[in-house]
Amino acid sequence: MSKSVVAKVFGVMFALSTFFSGAGYAAPYPERPINLIVAFAPGGGTDLVARLIAPYIEKYLGNGARIVVMNKPGAGGGIAFAEVARSAPDGYTLGMVNTPHILTIPIERKSTFSWESFEFLGNLVDDPDTFAVLDSSPFRTLKDLTDYARANPDKVTVGTTGTGSDDHLAMLMFEKATGTKLSHVPYKGSSEVRSAIIGEQVAVAAINVGEVLQYVKSGTPLRMLGQMGAKRSNLAPNVPTFKEQGIKAEMTALRGLASPKGLPSDVKAKLVKAIAQAANDPEYQKRAADIFAPTRYMAPEAYTAEVKETDAEIKALWKTMPWGQQ
C-alpha cells in the first residue's frame, strides 16, 4: 500500500474519530429542561400567557423539549429580569420580559441589567392599561373619579403591579392630565391587585384590559372606567378610551420572550423559529383569545426596535415625571 493511500486512510479514521467524540456528535438542542422565568406572581396576565405558550414552543422545538415555568416576583420584576440577564446564554434560561418594566427599573435605580442585556426572541402580547373598579363603586365614569380625586387629594387608592410598571405610569399620566393626586399602592402582580380590590384595600385597580376581562370571566365583579390604548381594544369594544373621555393618557404593556445576551446563533435560530410558529399556531391564538390575551407577535428585529424606541420615550418622561420619587 502506497504512502499516499495510507495517509488517506488515517485521515478518514481521524475525521470519523473526531465526529463521534467531539462537537460533530453533540446532542441537539434542547437536551435538558428549559427554565422560563416569569417576573410576577402566579395567576396574573404574564403568568397565564407563559403557561399557555410553553407547550406550543415545546411542540415546535421538538427533540422532547420541556419548558418549566418559574415565578420569581418582586422588585417590580427586577428580581426575575436580573436573574435572566446574569444566566448563562445557552438557551436553557429564558424570561418573559415586560415593557415598560425592563426599561423603568434601570432608570429608577442602580440595576444589574438594561434592555441591552437581553436577546429579544419574539413579542407575544400588547395589552392596554385600564382603570377598573368594583361594580359597587360610586365611580361610574372617569369624570366621577376625577371630580372626587380633585376634591380629595391622596384619598383615592390605586393598586398597581409595582413602582415603574406600566400600571404605575398610567396612574401618573392620569394625575398629570387631570391635575389630581392619587395614593399609589404597589403589589407584586395583577392577581394581588385583584385580591386587594376585592377586599376593598384599594379603590381602583390599574391593570391591563386582558387581565380585567379574565377576572370578570372568573366571577370578579369589576368594571372598566376606560382603556388607555390609542384606540379601543377589540377585546373590549364597548369600553371608551381615556382620550375619548377627554384625558390625554396612553399606556400599553408588551409581554414577550427573551434570553441573556450572547445566545449561540444556532440555538437562537431554533428558539426564534419555534416561538414564531407557536405564536401563529391557530390553536394557541384561539386559547389566547379565551383568556383575553391581546396577541401581537413581533419578530426579534421589530421587537428590539420597538423596545429601543420606547426606552427613549420613557427616559424623556422621567425628566418631567420622576416616578421613583413618588
71-125: per-residue pLDDT in tens? 999 888 899 999 999 999 999 999 999 999 899 999 988 999 999 999 999 999 9
Domain annotation for the chain: domains and CATH numbers: 34-127+253-325 (3.40.190.150), 137-250 (3.40.190.10)
Please state, in angstroms and rounded to a whole number, the distance separating the CA atoms of residues 232 and 226: 9
Give the per-residue pLDDT at 7.
47
Cell of 187: 403589589
Contact 76, 100 (CB under 8 A): no
Query: What's the grid cell of residue 209?
Result: 384590559
Instruction: Return the pLDDT at 163.
Output: 83
Residue whose cell numbers read 423596545: 307
Among 40, 230, 236, 49, CA closest to 132: 236
Tell me how many degrees the CA angle 58-48-119 measures, rounded to the nearest 5. 60
Task: Print burial letters for 266-281: b (CB count within 10 Å at least 16), e (below 16).
Answer: ebbebbbebbbebbeb
Give the H/E segment covering residue 115: none
pTM of this prediction? 0.76
Averages of pLDDT over runs of 10 residues in the chain (326 residues) are 48 47 64 96 89 98 96 91 97 96 91 96 95 97 97 98 88 93 92 95 96 92 94 90 94 94 96 98 94 92 94 86 68
The pLDDT tens digits of the residues spanning 179-220 come to 999 999 999 888 899 999 999 999 999 999 998 998 999 999
pLDDT given for residue 74 in this prediction: 87
Contact 296, 256 (CB under 8 A): no
Q: Number of helices (H) and strands (E), helices first, in the chain?
A: 11, 10
Residue 100's alpha-carbon distances to 130, 170, 191, in angstroms, are 15, 11, 19
- How high is the pLDDT of residue 76? 80
Strand partners, 35: 68, 93
Query: Could you give the CA distance from residue 36 to residue 55 in angstroms, rounded to a whole number?
Result: 12
